[in-house]
């Protein structure tokens, strides 16, 4: 991506003002994936000086600023296990020090190893103008009105886990799966290769294949849809074995 | 736009494009140890330390680096020499293209993890590609560096 000018606002309100008034704007999170896109925009709005790099702990949730890096998610001792595990194999430490959780979520990237655990964990998103919405609703929404993601609220799940298959140690996932239980069991399946989808409170008497029956898998240059489905069923079988040991 | 970059404790006043990446600015300033590899943040060859964190300079905007402490291998001096000797002794130093970023990565790793074991070293350096070696030599060299140079031969 190339751009003609960059603005570096000090507050989210200023960033939103720039977003609504600048010519052909784009919001910069970490910028790691945007950099790879063959795009030319006029104004880049850099959120790195808006104070969105903090993690706040409350009794029932973890509030993560949109500019918190994947490396912080990986190393922060309070992060749910599914999220920490998912971060570990995303390319390398250097990239994880660059890429932000807000950028990863806002992009609705199908390959994302960030969205899948957050979806299973029932994360909610706080936007500057639209207010709060669940990640599930955000992923299904067709509303593309420009807004700025400020923070992500992650409930403190009692148990969670993340599984994925990669061709190589640092490659994108061919398929990924996260499972979490707080009051309810939630399973998210991503890298289908479409963006992650959620299964709530599955009937655990069903087989993994039956639980995943309504999830669509498709082909890309990494794997066929059928192969992905087989992998996802295997990952889910492993996950359900783990769930059976959760107390 | 004019920015001030602090590289290896030295300030540079430099004019950059808004979308210029730090890799290009550093090389323009003469820090030729910073190499271009994949240019997609995947190989780690361009890694530098910014405020004690390893980042891919190919994807880090120069304007964002203003006010931060940038460290390249040129700023490590004696530590770079010692790590380099360990790498050479284990036969890791072959084409040398990845070595500057690897030395910076080892430096940031040892700042962050005080006494990493082999698995932690492997995990931390997974994003630093070397096309000459099989990475086992890296582990031996780092272990040697930690034992001889950091722990006084323990």
Residue B78 forms contact with A (CB below 8 Å): no
ipTM more than 0.90? yes
> pLDDT at position A136, please?
97
Residue B72 forms contact with A (CB below 8 Å): no
Tell me: pLDDT of B46 over 90.
Answer: yes
Q: Which domain holds residue B133?
A: 76-150
CB contact burial B62-76 (16+ within 10 A = b; e otherwise): bbbbbebebbbbbbb
Q: What is the CA radius of gyration of chain A?
A: 18
Which CATH code fits A2-46? 3.30.43
pLDDT < 70: residue spans in chain A: none
Helices (H) and strands (E) in chain A, counts: 9, 12
Inter-chain residue contact A6 with B53, CB threshold 8 Å: no
- Please give the interface size between A and B, counted as residue pairs whose CB atoms are below 8 Å apart: 74
The answer to whether the beta carbons of residues B105 and B47 sit under 8 Å apart is yes
> pLDDT at position B131, please?
86
- For residue B31, which of B85, B66, B76 has the smallest C-alpha distance? B76
> pLDDT at position A105, please?
97
**Chain A residues with CB-CB distance to B42 below 8 A:** 91-92, 95, 170
* Confidence class for position B152, pLDDT limits 50, 70, 90: low
Tell me: pLDDT of B108 over 60.
Answer: yes
* Confidence class for position B153, pLDDT limits 50, 70, 90: low
User: What's the number of CA atoms in the CB half-sphere (13 Å) around residue A38?
Assistant: 0
Integer Cα distance of B86 and B138 in angstroms: 9
Q: Which helix (H) or strand (E) holds A156?
A: none
Inter-chain residue contact A93 with B124, CB threshold 8 Å: yes
CA distance B94 to chain A (A): 22
Q: Can you name the residues that pair with B48 across neighbouring β-strands? A: B55
* Confidence class for position B151, pLDDT limits 50, 70, 90: confident
In this structure, are B44 and B84 located in the same domain? no
**Chain B residues with CB-CB distance to A44 below 8 A:** 18-19
Segment B111-149, tens digit of pLDDT:
999 899 999 999 999 999 988 888 889 999 999 999 988
Non-local (6+) Cβ contacts of B5 within 8 A are: B11, B12, B14, B25, B29, B62, B65, B66, B70
Q: Which of B42, B74, B106 is the last residue of a domain?
A: B74
Q: Which of B56, B74, B92 is the last residue of a domain?
A: B74
**Chain A residues with CB-CB distance to B109 below 8 A:** 93
Integer Cα distance of A226 and A231 in angstroms: 9
Q: How far apart are the first and last CA of chain A?
A: 48
CA distance B79 to chain A (A): 20
Domain positions in chain A: 2-46, 55-155, 159-245
* Number of domains making up chain B: 2
Query: What CATH number does residue B140 fall under?
Result: 1.10.150.120
Q: Which helix (H) or strand (E) holds B129?
A: none
């Amino acid at each position: 991506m190339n751009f003609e000018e960059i603005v570096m606002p000090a507050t989210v309100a200023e960033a939103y003002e720039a977003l609504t008034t600048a010519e052909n704007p784009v919001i910069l999170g970490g910028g790691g994936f945007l950099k790879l896109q063959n795009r030319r925009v006029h104004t880049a709005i850099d959120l790195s000086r808006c104070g969105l790099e903090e993690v706040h702990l409350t009794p029932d949730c973890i509030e993560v600023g949109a500019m918190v890096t994947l490396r912080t998610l990986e190393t922060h001792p309070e992060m749910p296990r599914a999220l920490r595990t998912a971060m570990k194999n995303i390319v390398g430490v250097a990239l994880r020090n660059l890429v932000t959780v807000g950028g990863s979520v806002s992009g609705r990237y199908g390959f994302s190893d960030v969205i899948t655990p957050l979806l299973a964990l029932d994360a909610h998103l706080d936007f500057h103008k639209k207010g709060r919405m669940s990640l599930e609703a955000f992923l299904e929404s067709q509303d593309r009105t420009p807004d700025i993601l400020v923070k992500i609220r992650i409930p403190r799940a009692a148990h969670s886990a993340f599984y994925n298959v990669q061709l190589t140690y640092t490659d994108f996932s061919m398929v990924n799966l996260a499972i979490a239980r707080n009051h309810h069991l939630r399973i998210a399946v991503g890298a289908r290769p479409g963006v992650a989808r959620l299964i709530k409170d599955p009937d655990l008497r069903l087989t993994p294949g039956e639980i995943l029956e309504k999830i669509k898998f498709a082909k890309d240059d990494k794997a066929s849809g059928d192969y992905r489905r087989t992998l996802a069923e295997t990952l889910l079988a492993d996950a359900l074995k783990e769930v059976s040991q959760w107390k | 736009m004019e920015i001030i970059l602090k590289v290896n404790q030295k300030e540079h006043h430099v004019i950059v494009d808004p979308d210029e990446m730090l890799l290009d600015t550093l090389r323009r300033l003469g820090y030729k140890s910073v190499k271009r590899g994949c240019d997609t943040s995947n190989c780690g060859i361009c890694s530098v330390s910014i405020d004690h964190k390893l980042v891919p300079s190919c994807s880090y905007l120069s304007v964002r680096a203003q006010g931060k402490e940038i460290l390249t291998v040129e700023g490590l001096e004696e530590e770079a020499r010692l790590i380099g000797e360990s790498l050479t002794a284990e036969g890791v130093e072959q084409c040398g293209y990845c070595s500057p970023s690897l030395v910076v990565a080892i430096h940031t790793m040892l700042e962050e993890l005080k006494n990493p074991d082999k698995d932690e070293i492997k995990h931390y350096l997974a994003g630093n590609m070397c096309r000459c070696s099989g990475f086992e030599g890296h582990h031996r060299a780092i272990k040697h560096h930690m034992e001889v140079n950091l722990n006084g031969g323990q």
